[in-house]
Amino acid sequence: MKLKRIFALIAFITICVSATYAQNAQVIDKIVAVVGKNIIMQSDIEEQYMQYRLQGGIKGSASSIRCEILEDQLFRKLMLNQAELDSIEVTDSQVDAEMEYRIRYYLSQLGSQEKVEKYFNKTMAEIKEELRTIIKDQKMIEEVQRKIVEGVSATPSDVREFFNSIPSDSIPMVSAQYEIAQLVKKPPITLDEKLAVKERLYGLRDRILKGERFSTLALLYSEDPGSAKKGGELGFQGRGELVPEFEAVAFALKDGEISEVVETEYGFHIIQMIERRGDYVNVRHILLTVKVSPEALQQAYNELDSIANLIRNDSITFDEAVHKFSDEDDKVNGGYLVNPNNGSTMFAAEDLDQQVSVVVNKLQVGEVSNPVPMKTKNDKDAYRLLMIKKKTTPHKANLKDDYALIQQWTMQKLRQEAINKWIDAKSNKAYVKISDDYCGCDFQFDWNINK
């Protein structure tokens, strides 16, 4: 298992590793390498070594794995050294936003602050202080990496050259791929339906003002599944992390104050300030969504059914129908679904939403589906028609059918080559000192060990 250049993974799990390592091992620590002004400790190697062992499935001797871990640390420290030379700055707000995100992740996984502190055997203040250093270093490294690869691009010639360099018996298999388009009808929500929800929410607000607990009513009535079970509490959120209408009201509240009813794309909210720390707020909210009426849903179904019949009778093409009738923003690109994993319009079968998968498995290329239910981006009920525009069977990768995928492989290779070239040049110029304990390692780069 190669451990080269996995900076983001290492940065995210380091604090977790530290907790496990501290609870399970005692090592006499010492400096094993220096890159510029940055040092690597034996504990850095042992912590990462333990994490990989816990993951299992690692091949190689303990010494070879430790050597790979050390070289990965050398890469990181070399880039950190360059970030310092280039005076790359990371703001406190950037660090704090990422830190709070990770703290929320730990809390969601472990359940409470007390459990997080017990797991890491540290106070929350100590955890945050360690995270700040890790995150700041990581963001500086990411900026160096970005600069190294920012000019890298893959021309058609590069893609062909890369693909042709793959031995014929090593060309990877590509699973079945689908290109799918949709035509969406979003049932309208009437003013009366909105007013009814607002009245319900004002009723809850009055109950809170008369003495009932906000958190209790949030648990009972809020339709935000993520926060309702926590009494409506969202945890600390920075500017830009909340939808604009919600954020504007939340940041204007005083401690304990309860807002008027606020409308966002998700529905209607009332908000209570818990605590503010500079550009971060911790608030509770109760969300009530406006439901689409059964009558409006049936009307959307009927409209799509009629459109599907027009398409089947060749009275209109699917593309024309999308442009003329679809209520979704993707109508401008023909209604094509976009794969969030790679930004292309092709989906492997395993990448498809389960509901979409069930429908397209029954369709032929160019055949339009019956209206099928869906949820919009803001969790509203709607209907859509689906059509398979293109489908491939499992096959060996080829330039005709899999150009976008091969282009991604090419870009990965070119970016890695750019990073390798940069490391090769910088490792021969930077001050690097490695302990004799590791001079027998079979490093990818020479690191001027003998200088």
Q: What is the pLDDT of residues 114-166, one digit of tens each?
A: 888 888 888 888 888 888 888 999 999 999 999 999 989 999 999 999 999 99
Strand bridging mode 395-396 / 173-174: antiparallel
Q: pLDDT at position 18, please?
A: 46
Helix (H, G, I), strand (E, B) or coil at 60: coil
Q: Quick check: 195 pLDDT over 80?
A: yes
Q: Quick check: 21 pLDDT over 70?
A: no
Q: What is the pLDDT of residues 351-383, one digit of tens each?
A: 888 889 899 889 999 999 999 999 888 778 899
* Percent of all residues in the chain with a pLDDT value above 70, rounded to a whole number: 92
pLDDT band at 31 (very low <50, low <70, confident <90, very high): very high
Tell me how many degrees the CA angle 54-59-64 measures, rounded to the nearest 5: 95
The CATH T-level fold of domain 191-288 is Chitinase A; domain 3 (3.10.50)
* Distance in angstroms between the alpha carbons of the first and the last residue of the chain: 30
Q: What is the pLDDT of residues 198-229, one digit of tens each?
A: 999 999 999 999 999 999 999 999 998 878 98
Strand bridging mode 262-264 / 267-277: antiparallel
Domain with CATH 3.10.50.40 in the chain: 176-188+293-393, 191-288
Place of tokens 């070879």: 64
19 pairs with which residues across the strands? none
Gap between the Cα atoms of 423 and 429, Å rounded: 10
Ranges 186-200, 233-247, 361-375: which has the least confidence? 233-247
Q: Class assignment of domain 7-152+414-438? A: mainly alpha
387 pairs with which residues across the strands? 181, 368
Gap between the Cα atoms of 129 and 145, Å rounded: 25
Helix (H, G, I), strand (E, B) or coil at 277: strand
Q: Class assignment of domain 176-188+293-393? A: alpha beta
pLDDT band at 429 (very low <50, low <70, confident <90, very high): confident
Gap between the Cα atoms of 411 and 396, Å rounded: 20
Gap between the Cα atoms of 301 and 284, Å rounded: 37
Gap between the Cα atoms of 289 and 198, Å rounded: 10
Check: CB of residue 39 under 8 Å from CB of residue 70.
Answer: no
Check: CB of residue 121 under 8 Å from CB of residue 19.
Answer: yes
- What are the tokens at 446? 């020479």
Check: CB of residue 178 under 8 Å from CB of residue 338.
Answer: no
Q: Hey, what's the torsion of the CAs at 347, 348, 349, 351, to 10 degrees?
A: -70
Check: CB of residue 406 under 8 Å from CB of residue 163.
Answer: yes
Q: Which residue has the higher pLDDT, 449 or 53?
A: 53
- What are the tokens at 324? 């003329």
Domain with CATH 1.10.4030.10 in the chain: 7-152+414-438
Q: pLDDT at position 57, please?
A: 54
Gap between the Cα atoms of 107 and 115, Å rounded: 8
Q: pLDDT at position 217, please?
A: 95
